[in-house]
Structure 1
Amino acid sequence: MTPADLSAALLDIVTTVVEQRRAADAELPELALTVDDVPLERPKNRDHGDWASNVAMRLAKKVGANPRELAEQIAAAAAGIDGVASAEVAGPGFINFRLEAAAAGQLAKTIVEAGDAYGRGDIYDGLSVNLEFVSANPTGPVHMGGARWAAVGDSLARILQAEGADVTREYYFNDHGSQIDRFARSLLAAYLGEPTPEDGYGGGYIGEIADRVVERYDGDLASLPREQQQEVFRSIGTELMFQEIKERLHAFGVDFDVYFHEDSLHASGAVERAIQRLDEQGHIFDADGAIWLRTTAFGDDRDRVIIRSNGEPAYISGDLGYYLDKRERGFEQNIIMLGADHHGYIGRMMAMVEAFGDVPNVNLQILIGQMVNLVKDGEPVRMSKRAGTIVTLDDLVDAVGVDAARYALVRSSTDSQLDIDLDLLTKRSNENPVYYVQYAHARTRSVAANAEKAGVDHSVFAPELLTHETESALLGGLQEFPRVVAQAAELREPHRVARYIEELAGLYHAWYAVRDGSTRVLPHGDEPVTDLHRTRLWLNDATGQVIRNGLGLLGVSAPDRM
């Protein structure tokens, strides 16, 4: 029995109980109940049962009943649900459900037959989402902050898609503004053998890119005036740097559907269209020779200049054009991932959304990520061999590999600063979380391969035989996966999937390692193959499938061997 099956049966019972009470008291309101009104959760203490519900406590006031009295009425009827061994009332009105072994064990077959589809839902079915992440300036390699967003953003996209959303991964290519000027001057200085400009970019990669620009340029670069030389380095250097960023992200398992060029906002008239729209809505005013957006009307701490008195667009003007462009492309929800230094940016952006007539934190959602530090031998890693002053995505991947890097970056909440221990991530031990999970998957594949050799197959499935306490715990963990995926999608927190599969791996390892051998999948010695062995193979394979599905949502491989 799945949680959905139990919820549906419980909803029918609760609806009947409520109707009976209304028949006895006409003054009670009519209630249109849904499955959301009969929540199920896993008890913290498994001795209390397989599932618990506070439905009686939620509805008692509405139906004029004492919570515990209502719970007892519901529990009495729920005890008759097929597959429910018992329904008991606890505390002020909680109902604890214990499933029959056959009903609980049925999940193993359900998972194996569902395969990759197990855990997927439909809470965002058909929702059009634009997910913008990384968006690193094309002035250097992807730093650790961008690396974190690459792992988290791609994982979030996968999770939203698993819940039915139509997700477009978008990279905002910052090719307009002062940072590109600084990059071009730095390349030119490297070419001319001059010191790096005071506000320029250092690191070995600058010299590498400068050399490649010279190779790419079809002409006599040395004969050009300095201004034209700088323009060559700006054009070709930016293209080369951005191509390198894309290649590095691709190798990290991250690709984008759209690469949006900031410069196009100004060239296409998108900024002007946005200003006109806001002006028509009465939110634009002139002062001190500049054009302003009245964001204080929507909670911002001050109004914002969008066109300076010299006619140059302020930075927020690009935001206006970009947001309107996304909405015109049909995206219902737009999610942007930004670094911790952009926290003060949220107020003006949400004011902008409201000025356009949209809903803050719905049509636009901004996620803020904290810093990432690499630690080796107990000491912070401060500098990159190639980038000089920063630590890059390549540094992390070179040290631990793509799988460990992605997993380490995604397994913690982005609200917290992250310290990644490079020594830990290279260990082949249970201390290393990615190894722990991948090893559990590899173990399920090894058990399956050995089972085939021993003649254990899927010809029989007898879930009523799965009665060992570790089997009950493992089945309980497997049931949680769809709920975890849905919650990770709703809260925009992919780390929940990582933490879940770590817990599931622990439950599997505990089941596998029962000392007396009472949970073996393989027959011992000359012992004949039994239906219990065959049924346990279903449970083994179901666990492997869920771990594989979970790792897949994080963009991490599920190896058959370790």
Structure 2
Amino acid sequence: MTPTQLADAVLAATRAALTGLGLDPALVPAAAGVERPRNPEHGDYASTIAMQLARSAGVAPRTLAQAVSAKLVEFPGVAAVDVAGPGFLNIRLDVSAIGEVARVVVSDGSNYGRSTSLAGGKLNLEYVSANPTGPIHIGGVRWAAVGDALTRLFRATGADVTTEYYFNDAGAQIDRFAMSLLASARGEPVPEDGYVGGYINDIASAIVGKQPTALELPEDQALEVFRTEGVRLMFDDVKSTLAEFGVQFDVFFNEQTLHARGELDAALARLIEEGHVYKADGATWVRTTAFGDDKDRVIVKSNGQWGYFAGDCAYYLDKRRRGFDKVAIILGADHHGYVGRLRAMAACFGDDPDKNIEIIIGQMVNLIKDGEQLKMSKRAGTLVTLREIIDMLGVDAARYALARYSIDSTIDLDLDLWTRQSNENPIFYVQYAHARIASLLRNAKELGITRGDDYDPGLLSHEKERDLLRSLGEFPGVVQMAAELREPHRVARYLEDLASTYHKFYDSCRVLPRADEQASDLTRARLWLAEAARIVFVNGLWLLGVSAPERM
């Protein structure tokens, strides 16, 4: 019996208990969780449903708990239910009922942990979206790891999600980028507010190599060549590096598209129609303060040029027109001020900010090497880049490390720790657990031992076996919670706990027979358990975009 199955049984027992007490069974919620108690002596699982419902049902919590207990104990697989304190339900399962978890995991295979809990509606998830003026630096690397993990979690829980990368190929930053490239190609100093680093020289050389006459063109034409070719080469590098990191986007959206299609004009017209636009000081403003923003936003500057907010409005409308019910964006902590303005923007268009837009704010990353903070990239002349992170840590360690921490906490990433081949390194610890299982299963195959189809879950009665089974049963709930709360780090922490639980099982329960022994039904049952653990490690690591090596 998995925790999900037990939760369903608790709900059914509660409805029956309410009916027996002459109360309305419709008071029972659609879902109720069961948890493993901190003290194993209290049982296999616990539920607080009686205390949750007591007030609305108009009955004492302990009275309701006793009624639920009497009904729940009648369910197959439930050995005993004790009522503790004010109304806790402490539930003990039959040994065979707990053992059924392994059968469920092996039967479901790669689908174990998946659900339809987030099915319904279309979601657009935008992340990274760094301007094509330089390589992706460490902040963007974190959003790449977290964004891709969130995408996998959303899809594993039934969400219809499209991932998108928005690149700004217009504006002052791109102008400075083009001037920096042209100056490098001419052998001149980079403009004071320009871009520096070896990558600028590389791109400038590539452009000259492709178009050697570019330097002979008039200034404005030369700048246009270096702008167009520079953005293309830089963005090609960004996309190839992201692909190397295991991150693929469904859509790469070009800001110029909005201008070419007149979508900024359309957005302004829509805001005028909604009655949220006014003129002041020669500029055109949107009254976003009416919807909680800290100040109104300029959409057309006094010089007649579009304000940055205009692009935000047009891009949001474009996504909504493409059929997305919710627009979600991952932004760094330095963009915290965007939350109010983007929510207000959605409201200005008549949308519900709580329903149609979601801003996920993440904190920054500090890289630590030899006890000192790494600040600069040797190649880019800026923060450490994605390609450098890959070179220093490898894809698996980098992705795991960046997704392992809550997105709203700053990370101090110790490069020495994350490259260490020891159990102190979390990714090594988790991957080693999988490799250990793979080795065990290879040895079993070499001995001609298979788990077979005749699995007896009642044989797995050892305390460490039950601990492992309960841990495996928690995986679907972890996946669902990680997706709903936008917290992929929950998967990483679960995997580390699972690795610890598996190692304790392996050290306490011999799986394969010794040389003078024959394989028994217990041998085969433990092979079922090992295979179930292997599947969960593979599924969990996949959610983080990390491999599950069979040898280490």
Q: How many angstroms does 1:292 deviate by?
A: 1.1
Matched, 1:506 2:500: yes
Deviation digits for residues 273-316 of structure 1, max 9, x if unmatched?
A: 11111211111122222211111110111111111121111001
Q: Provide the residue aligned with 2:44 in structure 1.
A: 50
Select the residue among 99, 116, 127 that pairs with 2:121: 127
Deviation digits for residues 326-347 of structure 1, max 9, x if unmatched?
A: 0000111111011111001111
Query: Secondary structure at the residue paired with 1:131?
Result: strand
TM-score, normalised to structure 1's length?
0.96
Matched, 1:480 2:457: no
Query: Secondary structure at the residue paired with 1:175?
Result: coil
Q: Cα 1:72–1:29, aligned 2, differ >3 Å: closer, same or farther?
A: closer
Give matches, 1:26-425, under 5 Å. 31-36=26-31, 38-217=32-211, 220-425=213-418
Q: Provide the residue aligned with 1:553 in structure 2.
A: 543
CA contact (8 A) 2:28 2:53 kept: no
CA contact (8 A) 2:368 2:415 kept: yes
Matched, 1:451 2:435: no
Query: Secondary structure at the residue paired with 1:119?
Result: coil
Q: Cα 1:189–1:48, aligned 2, differ >3 Å: closer, same or farther?
A: same
CA contact (8 A) 2:363 2:410 kept: yes
Query: Secondary structure at the residue paired with 1:171?
Result: strand
Q: Provide the residue aligned with 2:522 in structure 1.
A: 532
Q: Provide the residue aligned with 2:12 in structure 1.
A: 12
Q: How many angstroms does 1:77 deviate by?
A: 2.0
Q: How many angstroms does 1:495 deviate by?
A: 0.8
TM-score, normalised to structure 2's length?
0.98
Deviation digits for residues 213-242 of structure 1, max 9, x if unmatched?
A: 11222x512321222211111010110000
CA contact (8 A) 1:457 1:534 kept: yes
Q: How many angstroms does 1:121 deviate by?
A: 0.8
Q: How many angstroms does 1:30 deviate by?
A: 6.4
Deviation digits for residues 234-285 of structure 1, max 9, x if unmatched?
A: 0101100000000000000001111101121122111111111121111112
Between the aligned partners of 1:4 and 1:144, the Cα distance in structure 2 is 39
Count of residue correspondences: 551
Query: Secondary structure at the residue paired with 2:80?
Result: strand
Match for 1:45: what amino acid? N
Q: How many angstroms does 1:194 deviate by?
A: 1.0
Between the aligned partners of 1:559 and 1:47, the Cα distance in structure 2 is 36
Query: Secondary structure at the residue paired with 1:560?
Result: coil
Worse overlay, 405-414 or 5-14: 5-14
Q: Percent identity?
A: 56
Match for 1:232: what amino acid? V
Q: CA RMSD in A?
A: 1.2
Worse overlay, 455-464 or 176-185: 455-464
Q: How many angstroms does 1:45 deviate by?
A: 2.1
CA contact (8 A) 2:17 2:71 kept: no
Q: How many angstroms does 1:8 deviate by?
A: 2.1
Query: Secondary structure at the residue paired with 1:420?
Result: strand
Q: How many angstroms does 1:34 deviate by?
A: 4.0
CA contact (8 A) 2:434 2:548 kept: yes
Match for 1:533: what amino acid? T
Deviation digits for residues 157-202 of structure 1, max 9, x if unmatched?
A: 0000001111111000111111101100111111111112110111
CA contact (8 A) 2:285 2:297 kept: yes
Between the aligned partners of 1:119 and 1:151, the Cα distance in structure 2 is 20
Query: Secondary structure at the residue paired with 1:513?
Result: helix
Structure 2 alignment gaps of length 5 or more: none
Between the aligned partners of 1:305 and 1:388, the Cα distance in structure 2 is 33
Which aligned runs of 4 or more in structure 1 are off by greater than 4 angstroms?
none
Between the aligned partners of 1:291 and 1:483, the Cα distance in structure 2 is 50
Matched, 1:429 2:422: yes
Q: Provide the residue aligned with 1:25 in structure 2.
A: none
CA contact (8 A) 1:403 1:556 kept: yes
Between the aligned partners of 2:38 and 2:218, the Cα distance in structure 1 is 73
Q: How many angstroms does 1:361 deviate by?
A: 3.6
CA contact (8 A) 1:127 1:164 kept: no
CA contact (8 A) 1:147 1:393 kept: yes
Deviation digits for residues 35-88 of structure 1, max 9, x if unmatched?
A: 42x331221222211211111111112222111121112112212211011111
Query: Secondary structure at the residue paired with 2:253?
Result: strand
Q: How many angstroms does 1:448 deviate by?
A: 0.7
Match for 2:538: what amino acid? R
Between the aligned partners of 1:312 and 1:388, the Cα distance in structure 2 is 32
Q: Provide the residue aligned with 1:490 in structure 2.
A: 484
CA contact (8 A) 1:338 1:367 kept: yes
Between the aligned partners of 2:339 and 2:9, the Cα distance in structure 1 is 44
Structure 1 alignment gaps of length 5 or more: 23-27
Between the aligned partners of 1:401 and 1:8, the Cα distance in structure 2 is 43
CA contact (8 A) 1:29 1:62 kept: no
Between the aligned partners of 1:234 and 1:361, the Cα distance in structure 2 is 39
Deviation digits for residues 489-529 of structure 1, max 9, x if unmatched?
A: 10111111111111101100111112xxxx11100121111
Between the aligned partners of 1:422 and 1:480, the Cα distance in structure 2 is 31
